[in-house]
Amino acid sequence: MSAADSTQAPQAPSPTSSLRLVFTLGLIALCSGLLVVSVVEWTRPIIADNHERALQQAVFDVIPGAVERRDFVLTEQGLVPKEETDARGEVIHAGYTEDGALAGIALEASGRGYADVIRILYGYDPACECIVGMSVLESQETPGLGDRIETDPDFLGSIEGLDASLTEDGTELKHGIRTVDPGEREEPGDIDGITGATVSAEAIGDMLHRSANKQLPQLQGHWSELERNE
């Protein structure tokens, strides 16, 4: 017998068992899942805190003179501090001056823009029955065009002091709120539009009208409940 014949061919490695493979993949999936959950739970309070800070600043931005905020929910019993009720409903952000006087309220509204849903916060002063400011909370509008709803001075300026008074019976806005072509404002509820951002600007007018026309009549008769008692 030759040396070549006496040399045995190397044996092929035995295939990995299916059970072991499934166990390994399952262990990897379990570890990955635990890691994701841990990261989510760790970042949740940080995200919530950042959201709260941003909302607080937005409230102060849309209510001139406000330095303190309290949140209320409108229930069948009236306006109740949010921390004292589990009732669901529109949250009313009340803003107060340094001496504790009510400076106004802030309400959230949303609507479809050109690219996606736009979320805004707007301020209302019951003393003048007018909208006193608006801030964009969330927007995916086109940079340089639609996102000018956040920066255009004429557009934003026409919202400040915008008439939002109600009819004599208090059931709806006396003047509808709408966005018109730039320089074409005629009615107390008209907002100056933005050239090149027509859809986005009109969306703001529409959501302001829908929100104010619904929320402000519901708040009639409840303003005294927002006054500080300290």
The confidence band for 25, taking pLDDT boundaries of 50, 70 and 90, is: confident
Burial (CB count within 10 angstroms: exposed 0-12, middle 13-18, buried 19+), residue 129:
middle
Q: What is the pLDDT of residue 14?
A: 55
The confidence band for 71, taking pLDDT boundaries of 50, 70 and 90, is: very high
Q: What is the pLDDT of residue 64?
A: 96
Residue with the larger pLDDT of the pair 191 and 13: 191
Q: Given a cut of 90, is residue 102 above it in pLDDT?
A: yes
Q: What is the pLDDT of residue 127?
A: 94
Q: What is the pLDDT of residue 204?
A: 97
**pTM for the whole thing?**
0.79
Give 18-59 as a DSSP string.
HHHHHHHHHHHHHHHHHHHHHHHHHHHHHHHHHHHHHHHHHH
Q: Which residues contact 113 (CB under 8 A, 6 or more apart)?
A: 139, 140, 141, 146, 199, 200, 203
Matching residue, tokens 């035995």:
14
Q: pLDDT tens, 169-228?
A: 999 999 999 999 999 999 999 999 999 999 999 999 999 999 999 999 999 989 999 987
Q: Given a cut of 80, is residue 7 above it in pLDDT?
A: no
- Give dist(CA 185, CA 206) in Å, integer: 15
Q: Given a cut of 70, is residue 23 above it in pLDDT?
A: yes
The confidence band for 9, taking pLDDT boundaries of 50, 70 and 90, is: low
The confidence band for 10, taking pLDDT boundaries of 50, 70 and 90, is: low
Matching residue, tokens 């072991």:
20
Q: What is the pLDDT of residue 49?
A: 67
- Return phi, psi of residue 199, to 5°: -65, -45
Q: Given a cut of 60, is residue 51 above it in pLDDT?
A: yes
